[in-house]
Amino acid sequence: MSVTSSPVQQRVRIALGERSYDIAIGVGLLDDPAAFEAARAGSTALIVSNTTVAPLYAERLARQLRQRHAQVRQMALPDGEQHKSWETLKLIFDELLSSGADRKTTLYALGGGVVGDMTGFAAACYMRGVPFVQVPTTLLAQVDSSVGGKTAINHPFGKNMIGAFYQPLAVVCDLDLLKTLPVRELSAGLAEVIKYGPIADMDFLGWIESHIDALRACDPAALAHAVRRSCEIKAEVVGQDERESGLRAILNFGHTFGHAIEAGMGYGAWLHGEAVGAGMVMAAELSRELGLVDAAFVRRLTALIDRAGLPTRGAVIDADDNAGRYLELMRVDKKAEGGEIRFVVIDGPGRAVVRPAPDALVRQVIDRCCAE
Ligand code: NAD
Ligand code: GLY
Q: What domain count does the chain have?
A: 2
For ligand 2, mutation pick of 142, 245, 251, 255 (most atoms within 8 Å of CB) = 251
Residues with C-beta less than 6 Å from any ligand 2 atom: 144, 148, 150, 248, 251-252
pLDDT tens readout for residues 27-56: 999 999 999 999 988 899 999 999 999 999
| Domain at 212, CATH number | 1.20.1090.10
- Please tell me if the CB atom of residue 137 comes closer than 6 angstroms to any atom of ligand 1: yes
Q: Does 193 lie in the same domain as 138?
A: no
Classified as helix, coil or strand, 127 is helix
pLDDT at 8: 52
Residues 132 and 40 in one domain: yes
CB 125 within 8 A of CB 97: no
Residue 76 CB–ligand 1 contact under 6 Å: no
Residues 84 and 225 in one domain: no
Sign of CA dihedral 118, 124, 129, 131: positive
Domain check: are 359 and 249 in the same one? yes
CB within 8 Å of 74: residues ≥ 6 apart: 46, 47, 49, 54, 58, 59, 62
Same domain, 304 and 197: yes
CA–CA separation, 65 and 47 (whole Å): 10
- Whether the CB of 277 sits within 6 Å of ligand 1: no
At 232 the pLDDT is 98
Distances (CA, A) of 20 to 9, 30, 178, 218, 360: 19, 21, 26, 30, 44
Terminal-to-terminal C-alpha distance of the chain: 44
**331/201 same-domain check:** yes
Residue type, 208: I
Distance CA 46, CA 55 (A): 15
Predicted confidence at residue 372, as pLDDT, reads 66
Contact 191, 273 (CB under 8 A): yes
Are 166 and 191 contained in the same domain?
no
The reply to whether 160 belongs to the active site is no
In the residue annotation, 285 being an active-site residue is answered as: no
Contact status, residue 84 vs residue 151, Cβ threshold 8 Å? no
Last residue of a domain, one of 158, 180, 202: 180
Q: Which domain holds residue 118?
A: 3-180
Cβ 285 vs Cβ 279: under 8 Å: no
Indicate whether 154 and 190 sit together in one domain: no
State whether 360 and 232 are in the same domain. Answer: yes
Do 236 and 303 fall within a single domain?
Answer: yes
Q: For the chain, list residues with pLDDT below 50.
A: 1-7
| 17 and 38 housed in the same domain | yes
Which of 163, 180, 197 represents a domain boundary (last residue)?
A: 180
- How far apart CA 45 and CA 61 sit, in angstroms, is 11
Choose one of 150, 180, 210: the last residue of a domain: 180
Helices (DSSP H) in the chain: which residue ranges? 59-65, 86-98, 113-125, 139-140, 183-200, 202-216, 220-240, 255-265, 272-289, 295-307, 322-330, 359-370
Q: What is the CATH number of the domain that holds 131?
A: 3.40.50.1970
251 lies in the same domain as 168: no
